[in-house]
Chain A
């Protein structure tokens, strides 16, 4: 009887996953939900303020042109979220190569980005959709 119950639970999980994948195409553009370019730009500005106070990652930004960094990251997120932007450094692996960014630093930046989105009042669901798009970059950024 317990095996039947386990089977039921497994079936419910499969149905759930199917429902989730079917629900995807109706999504409104993430770019719009983030407040278009201005909204994204504001998040990244907030992120830079937070990074500046975060000892885990702030040393990495010494001597970095922050205007350039802000535009680059905003363009990247704009393009990734379906906005009308063209990110110039399309190869994530190439631009992070040689820096040996650590797992700790990557986590710290994600932590800081979530904080920045919260400060800008981005709803949880929109935050998650953006994080889902950014997460695969991990393999091109960390320990390269």
Chain B
């Protein structure tokens, strides 16, 4: 009799769990989707396919141009004074269109204690659409280029409003270019990505949109690069420039260093180190990041 062992991946405290059998782990054909492993990327904290904090031009999941695909994800970030939980999912069509939702919850116990606030968390909902305009990540000489729109709704505007944010909702526009250079880094595959974000979101929108210092949307460059050690392991880094709209609280650029594990087309696990700089009066917010993604 064949015993199928089940491995469960759990992400606490967001209670996101994924069960996969050992047979799933062993098979590279766990789902009938045809794009190559890793080409769907991981899921960013805002729900779009990419790395951890910077979106890429790739369309989520592994659907080729005659297929559809879907993903579900849970992510957790912990710096000393803040914790961010995100859950969400995406649906993608013909490697052309990606629709995604993400629900974020930022817990800010230190800030609550310091300012004697009545609340201890801020939630935000993000609905995004991304369209691949031209190119293929691997097969065309030019990079894959996509345009994305993210509608963000801050659901706990009390604190953001109190520190000077002007709006409780906003829309980011992303223009991304991504290319995988086969054998491009000492015969390992090299992933390069650049994104231009048109935004006035404070801390991705968790601290609202616009502010007393600046209320206009600006273009923010974001870049990421990674090397595939083999088809299952991606090591990478990201840098995201941020607006600085509020005079009361300073906002810094973000960076990450991460390792992604893609055992098959069904699951992806990303672990990383993040440096968020100063976040709402608390300096040197560095910490760790963990993300799980299931693809269907």
Asked if chains A and B come from one complex, the reply is yes
Query: Looking at chain B, what size class is its interface with the partner chain?
Result: 35 or more
Inter-chain CA distance A23–B188, complex, in Å, is 13
Separation in Å of the B258 CB from the closest CB of chain A? 15
Closest residue of chain A to B65, judged by CB? A103
A81-122 to B contact mask, C-beta < 8 Å, 1/0: 000000000000000000000111011101100110000000
One of B32, B138, B221 near A6 (C-beta < 8 A): B221
Contact of B178 with A by CB under 8 A: no
Total A-B residue contacts, Cβ distance less than 8 Å: 86
By a beta-carbon cutoff of 8 Å, the part of chain B in contact with chain A is: 28-29, 32, 34-36, 64-67, 95, 136, 138-141, 181-190, 192, 221, 223, 225, 229-231, 239, 241, 252-253
User: Are B239 and A9 in contact, with the CB atoms below 8 A?
Assistant: yes
Verify B183–A129 contact, CB threshold 8 A.
yes
Contacts A/B (CB < 8 Å), 12 sampled: A5-B239, A23-B186, A107-B34, A114-B36, A124-B229, A126-B187, A132-B182, A132-B184, A135-B139, A136-B139, A138-B139, A138-B140
Q: Does A29 contact B (CB under 8 A)?
A: no
A132: which B residues are within 8 A, CB to CB? 181-184
- A129 to B239 alpha-carbon distance, docked (Å): 29
Interface of B is mostly: loop
Q: If A2-B253, A13-B225, A104-B34 touch, does A125 touch B186 (CB 8 Å cutoff)?
A: yes
Contact status A107-B64, CB under 8 Å = yes
Q: Which residue of A lies closest to B223 (CB)?
A: A9
Partner of B185, one of A6, A9, A20, A56: A20
Interface of A, secondary structure class, is helix
Which interface class (under 10, 10 to 19, 20 to 34, 35 or more) fits A? 20 to 34
5 nearest CB pairs, A to B: A125-B187, A138-B139, A103-B65, A128-B183, A132-B182
A interface list, Cβ under 8 A from B: 2, 5-6, 9-10, 13, 16, 20, 23, 56, 102-104, 106-108, 110-111, 114-115, 124-126, 128-129, 131-132, 135-136, 138-139, 142
Q: Are B65 and A104 in contact (CB under 8 A)?
A: yes
Whether B184 and A20, one on each chain, are in contact in the complex, defined by CB atoms closer than 8 angstroms, is yes
A5 near B253 (CB under 8 angstroms)? yes
Q: Tell me which residues across on chain A come within 8 A of B36, comparing CB atoms.
A: 107, 110-111, 114
Q: Which chain B residue shows the least CB distance to A110?
A: B36
B64 touches A104 (CB 8 A): yes
Partner of B230, one of A104, A110, A124: A124
